[in-house]
Structures are given as C-alpha cells and as structure tokens.
A and B are shown apart, each in its own frame.
Chain A
C-alpha cells in the first residue's frame, strides 16, 4: 500500500490522482485502474500470486485494443522502477506473449528502446534493470537465448574498448555480471560453452584492471576480520561460486516456473543487434565502490544463517535492501516498514542484513547517497518497529564498529561519531559506558578515547552540561567536556596588567549604553599598536592586533548569552569588524580571538566563524590559513576544526555553483530571446492552458520577457565574476593542499632523520583529513586536478602523500 507514495514525484505516473479523478473521462479512469492493477500485482493479497497474474493477464488482453500503448509503457516502466519485482513482470509479459505473439514483439521492441535510451542518457541503474528484465524474459520464453548472448557479448566488447575511462568499462562488465543470477541457469542449460566463453572474457578483463582507487574507498584499512573488497572483484567471486553451484540460487522468486507448460509453447523473439552508444566526454559513469562488510554468520548465532560474503544471496539481499532505501528514503516510517517486510525475511537474519546495509550507505565513500540524519532517523524508526530485536543488533553493531575503529578512515569516524551521539540523544543517552573504560588507559590521540571524547562533545551540543553528571561513570571524568563558557581575560585575575584592560572596560560601558559603531572605533583609537613599537616600523598596514583583541573579545563576551545575541552584536558592529579586518592577517587575528574567548565552546566557534564568512568579515582563505596556523596545533586533530574547514570550503563551492548557474540562466535567456523575436507567434498559438489566461495577458508576456533579457554586457560581467570566483576557489584548495603537504613532509622528514616510526596517531589523523578534503569535495576538486598535479602533487614529494592524490584521481579514470 505504500508503494504509491514512494513514487509520488514521478509526474503523470501517479501524481495528483485524486484531484484529477473528478474531471477525467471514462477512458482515463480505465487507464488509471489498469495502472493501479499492474503496479500493485505481487503485493499482499488473499489469493495466490499465480491466480492474480492469470487474472490480470486476461484483463490486459481484453483491453489491448484500447490501451495498447499505455500497457506497453507501464509494463516497461515497472521493472525499472521496482527492480525487486522484475520476475513478476517478466512472467506477465511471458503470459501475454503466449496469448498474443504480436504484442510480445512490440513489447520487446519497446523495452529495447528503453534500454538504449537509458544508456544514452547515462541512467546506469535504469539501464541495468532494463537489461536484467530482458534477460529474465529469456526465462519466460519471450526472447531467444542466442540473441541475449549476442547482446551480452556486445557489452563485454564495450568493456574491452581502448582509450575509454575504466569506469565505463567497469559498468558494462558489472551490468553483465549482475544479470547472471537471473539468467545464468538458463544460459548454462542451453548454451554452456557460449556462457563459459563470456565468463572467460570477463575474467581476462578483470585481471587487467587497475585498482588504485580501492584504498581511498575502504572504510577500514585492514582486512581483518572482513576483507573490504572492491565491488567487481566481490561480484566476480560471487558469480564464480554460483557457477560452482551449477547456477542454482535460492533467493529470486520465479513465478514463471508455475506456468512452464503455457510458456514453453510460446514463440520467442530475437533481440535486434544492440550496439552500446560510444563514449563521449560528457558521459558520467558510476564511481567504483567497496563492498561494506561488518557481519558474518558467527555474529548472529540464533536464528537463520547469514549467507556468506561470496554467496550470491548476499549480493541479492543487499541490492534489494539498497533499492528499498532508495525508493523510500523520503518517508522514514515506510522505509523502516518495507525493510522489515522483505519477502525473504524468514530465511535470513534480517535485522543484521538491514543494519549492515544502512551502515554501508552511511559509510559510503566518497559521500553517502543521502543526508546522515536520514539513516539515523531510519534506524530510530526500526528500533521503534522492532523493539525486541533491533536495539540489540544495533548495540552489537556499535560495539563492533568501536572495536574496529583503530583502522577506520577519518571520514567514516566523523559520520560514526555524529550518528552515535544523535542516536543516544533519542534514547536518553543510555549506554553501557563501563564496557569501554579500558580505553581510558590509551593515549588520548588514539582513535578509541578520541571517539568517546568527540561523541561526548556532540552529546553536549544536543543536551546540557549538567546532564553528564547523571549520564557518565566517574571514571570518564577526564573525557567529559568542560562547561561551554566564555573565558574573558579582561575580567580575570591579573587582568590589570594587560595592556587593553582599561579600554576593554570602557568599551563594555559604551556598548551597554547602546553606542554606535563609530563610537567603538573612537574608543579603540588610542590603543597602541604592539607591532609598531617593535622592530617592524616598516609595516604600512593599519592592522593593530590589540584593537582586534579588545574589540572582538569584549563584544563577543557581551553577546555570549546565546547565538542570537552574538549574531545581533556582529551585525550591529559590522562596520567595526570591516574596518579592523582589512588584511588577511587581521582576519586571522579575529579568528584567533574568537578561539581564545570560546575555547570551551566549540559549537559557538563554528557558528561565529560561519557568520563571519556570511557577513564577509573574513574570507575563506583566511579561515584555511588559520586552521593550519601554529596557534591551532593543539586543536588540530579535533573534529570541530574540520567541521569549520569543510563549512568554509562548502561556502566557497556554493558561491561558485550559484554564479555559474546565474550565468547559464542568463545566457539561455539571451539565446531564447534572440529566437523568440522571430517566432513570437508560436507562443500565441500554443494550446490554451487550463487557466483562463486573458489574451492581453498572454500577449504581454513576451514583452515582459524582453524586459528581463540581460544585455550582452551584463552577461560579460557575470562571466568575469564567475572567473574571479574560480580563481578564489582554486586558491583556497591550493592553500589547503599546500599546508597539508608542508606539515606532512616535515613530519616524515623529521621521523626519518630521528629514526622514528612515522606512522603515529597524529600522522594518521592528518593523512585522514587530507583524504577527507579530496573525498568530501571531489566534485569541485576534480576541476583542479591538473593544476594540483603540476603545482603541488609533483613527483618530488613523499610517495605517502602523493599516493593520496593518485587514489583520488583514480576514482574517475
């Protein structure tokens, strides 16, 4: 019953049905009824699937005269939109074909067209599901075995093309391999040698493949207890195992087997010759991935046995669960219900499979499909629906993740900490912390105590400090965050000797009396510049660190009551900030004073810096330089600092994306107007819309458009602006990568000369953060790959660092 909702945004497929109903003709109503029947076949019903299929087929048969094209369309869309129901629809088409050979032929043509279109439009999953459906039609005697083999062979040919990206070749092999669970048995029975030949060609291809990308996509760097396999290698192993078992698999329901006597009489069609569309530079292919594994059968001792990592069932179950998440990620309750209702649920330890698949998505590299919180909220929903099992499985999973955290990559570490704190906040922060207290003996930079520390900091943000007293065992006192209060030095003991104290106190009074920004600048005027008294009289800039110090700390301390107070203070004295923050050095100084005041309140630092960026008081490059500055060395491995860096990069990226969209819109309008002036009449004769648009209003519209029309000059200016933004963006990435290279090289050289092991906790965190910048912003960074290669990641830097870059470029090669 929830199926309908999931596809709501598919336009005419389902949309707005109820509103339309009253106005539609009888014919349309009939069409809609047919559609519903087809969509819902295979859902729970009182009669058997077989009899439902038979009934539906005879209904469709009698309606073919009137609704031929509609039926063709729905039947070809369903197996693509609901790939898990592939065999139900292939059975239907098989039965239709047995009754009406011509319809079968038309359907095959239609499906082939859909398949080719998907390939051309780079809709890779749709293409794969279409191919799977075509293969399954072989099982239903609709399509001849030979012609399918020919198609599969052509696809492997595409995988053997030269001078095309490996990701393209990979996809063609993946598509072929992933149809074999459906049609392998049939091919094996009818054309064994041709199938063997196909497999040999695939094996040759796989042996030649490069797997440079593999390491950057792994969740864990070590292969114990479970290897993190590259997806094609894993699927190949699963297919090989399937072949050993004579292509018998136990997961796919095959309703057509019940109709064998009807179907085997049917005449088959030949697929036309299909050539994959040649590669174009604009084509984007799926990136490779690594198969996520955290459980094996020993983890789930009670109940049914978990299929092994190389059994094809594991692949099929996972694919099925992923596609449920895809279809329902927008409705967490439906999503949880559908996951728990998997058709195969009694034969597998379902809760383990679900938890593994959800963590697979959450930890997916380079980025998860959906927001982190989407997975978090689905897990909460699952716990609510299955309170007797799900929370235990989830706790066991958390335990496993924590035990394997030593080799977890940094991006996943962050996602894990964010998820876990969020999850705890939904369950009264209850956790058996005592189980983990042995970690308190480890070095503080070790991933385990680090994880606990970061989780507690996140928990603090979602709750309040007093809560920790009830929440945590006493042994954890050293990891409990400090109360998130400002540390305002001008009222602390010994403040009298500080050079700015007197001014700071005057400033407090002035701001309390609602003074203007000019008044503030006046108050600050007399502060001496510590830089001028020393040796560098030569400095021409007006940058005065003491002014910034007194102003920033005093103002933010006065606004410390809440985010709102702070934001109000920043916007009221925006002018003062702008005056003081003229140079990048001054901007870094502002950031540093934010840090000094709010050292115990990370979240406050994050939002203040976000505000300073939005109000253009500091620039992105200043934040990047500050993150790597000497003053921040002690904070360098803490999560919040990277939260700040990534929000800064995102801001830059959004800016570039916005400008480039504005430009392309403007260009489009310019082109459209050039055309429409010659063909104005077209708009006039357009079919009358449902709204009653008066003729005058319609005639007016093109004129209105012309008023919006940008001039060539405006477009040129937009181009310049975008160009400048690209320069800024490139510069930001260059700064960040250059700093990484500097500190990492320094560390490696120093360890080398001292004869120490370079592989320290600090080193791992830092390399992890470098990887994270590549991964999180891969869409944007890829534009600068060649610049980075020629300027920074050159052959003379340390191979450890260079390797991170090469792994990144291998993602799309």
Chain B
C-alpha cells in the first residue's frame, strides 16, 4: 500500500485501509489534460480486463484534469497494473498509479 489517500474519504482510517486491501480500483495521476479514455484503456488493458474507466473532470469546466480511475474485474489485474505501469510513460508523462478504495459517483 502506498501513501496516497483520498482526503474526502468518509469513514474511519481503518475502514479505508481495509477497502484498499480488497479493491480492484486504481487512481491514476499525472496524466496530460489531453490524454483520452481510449489511450488509458489501451495501456491498462494490457494488464487485464477493465470494468470501467472514470475520467477525472474539472469541477467547473467539466474537462479532463489529469487524473482518472481505472477499475478492473480482478484484484490481480489491478495489482499487475500497479507493478508494471506505475512510473512508466503515457503521452510522454510518467503516470502515477495508486490503490483507490473504490469510485463513488461525484468524486471526479
């Protein structure tokens, strides 16, 4: 587990830790504003079958703003993405991959 924590998580620290150990969702950071869902899909599907991708959107402009969530069906696949994609490049930027306790509508 890594240092990144969702600051707005509702629930105890302990609860958050527990979810992070079970989750198949990843937070992807340091993306370019122009990186599309398609590009993310292509890269991350090399680690396994993706359930969904949620693009992070700017609160007001509703445009992509450099992060997204990738949810896999299987925990193992998310783990592979953590291992092999974190710290490599997409659109010439070094992407950051972290565990996420699971996406809840509105977080983007």
Contact = CB atoms under 8 A, between A and B. Distances in A.
Interface in B74-108: 80, 83-85, 88-92
B90 A425 contact: yes
Interface stretch (B2-10, B13-21, B33-41): B33-41
B43 A462 contact: yes
B41 A371 contact: no
A462 B42 contact: yes
Interface string A85-106: 0000000000000000000000
A331 B87 CA distance: 12
Contact of B90 (A330, A371, A462, A604): A462
A432 interface: no
Interface string B45-81: 0110000111100000000000000000000000010
Contact of A426 (B36, B53, B80, B88): B88
Interface residues of B, number: 23
A562 interface: yes
A596 B41 CA distance: 22
A458 B34 CA distance: 18
Contacts of A411: none
Contacts of B38: 461, 562-563, 603-604
B39 to A, nearest CB: 6
Contacts of B92: 428
A374 B81 CA distance: 10
A461 B43 CA distance: 9
Contacts, number: 63
Contact of A373 (B47, B54, B55, B91): B47
Which of B37, B53, B88 neighbours the largest number of chain A CB atoms within 10 Å of its CB?
A: B88
Contacts of B83: 330-332, 374, 377
A462 B91 CA distance: 7
A29 B55 CA distance: 49
A462 B93 CA distance: 12
Contacts of B88: 377, 380, 426
A463 interface: yes
Contacts of B47: 371, 373
B39 A463 contact: yes
Contacts of B53: 563-564
A377 B84 contact: yes
A361 interface: no
Contact of B42 (A374, A426, A461): A461
B42 A371 contact: no
B90 A563 contact: no
* Binding site secondary structure of chain B: mixed
B55 to A, nearest CB: 7
A1 B43 CA distance: 32
B84 A462 contact: no
Contacts of A403: none
B36 A562 contact: yes
B41 A374 contact: no
B39 A371 contact: no
A371 B37 contact: no
A607 B90 contact: no
* Binding site secondary structure of chain A: helix
A372 interface: yes
Contacts of A603: 38, 41-42
A422 interface: yes
Nearest to A461: B42
Interface string A453-485: 000001001111000000000000000000000
Chain A, interface size category, equals 20 to 34
A380 B83 CA distance: 13
Contacts of A458: 42
Interface string A427-468: 010000000000000000000000000000010011110000
Given A461-B38, A563-B41, A374 B89 contact: no
A68 B52 CA distance: 54
Contacts of A607: 41
B39 A461 contact: yes
A331 B79 CA distance: 11
A428 B89 CA distance: 9
Contacts of A562: 36-38
B84 A425 contact: no
Contacts of B89: 425-426
Nearest to A565: B37
Contact of B80 (A373, A461, A462, A564): A373
Interface string A554-585: 00000000111001000000000000000000
Contacts of B34: 464
A330 B41 CA distance: 22
Given A373-B46, A563-B38, A463 B91 contact: yes
Contacts of A567: 52
Contacts of A564: 37, 52-55
Nearest to A421: B42
Contacts of A332: 83-84
A373 B84 contact: yes
Interface string A476-509: 0000000000000000000000000000000000
B42 A373 contact: no
B79 to A, nearest CB: 9
A663 to B, nearest CB: 20
B84 A371 contact: yes
A464 B52 CA distance: 21
B46 A563 contact: no
A377 B42 contact: no
Contacts of A461: 38-39, 42
A603 B84 CA distance: 22
B32 to A, nearest CB: 10
Nearest to B92: A428
Contacts of A373: 46-47, 80, 84-85
Given A425-B90, A462-B43, A563 B84 contact: no
B93 to A, nearest CB: 11
Interface string A322-338: 00000000111000000
Contacts of A371: 46-47, 80, 84
Nearest to A331: B83
A377 B85 contact: yes
A418 B43 CA distance: 11
A464 B40 CA distance: 12
Contact of A563 (B37, B80, B85): B37
Contacts of B85: 373, 377
A377 B55 CA distance: 25
Contacts of A372: 46
Contacts of A418: 46
Nearest to B80: A371
Interface in A366-424: 371-374, 376-377, 380, 418, 422
A463 B36 CA distance: 9
A464 B91 CA distance: 9
A463 B42 CA distance: 10
A654 to B, nearest CB: 9
Interface string A232-275: 00000000000000000000000000000000000000000000
A374 B84 contact: yes
A604 B42 CA distance: 10
Given A373-B47, A462-B39, 7 more contacts: A422-B46, A462-B90, A464-B39, A562-B38, A563-B37, A563-B41, A607-B41
28 contacts: A332-B84, A371-B80, A373-B47, A374-B83, A374-B84, A376-B84, A377-B85, A380-B88, A418-B46, A422-B43, A425-B43, A425-B89, A425-B90, A461-B39, A462-B39, A462-B42, A464-B34, A464-B36, A562-B36, A562-B38, A563-B38, A563-B41, A564-B53, A567-B52, A603-B38, A603-B41, A603-B42, A607-B41
Interface of B: 34, 36-39, 41-43, 46-47, 52-55, 80, 83-85, 88-92
Interface of A: 330-332, 371-374, 376-377, 380, 418, 422, 425-426, 428, 458, 461-464, 562-564, 567, 603-604, 607
Kindly list the 8 A-B residue pairs having the minimum CB-CB distance in the complex, ordered from nearest.
Answer: A461-B42, A377-B84, A373-B46, A426-B89, A373-B84, A562-B37, A563-B37, A462-B42
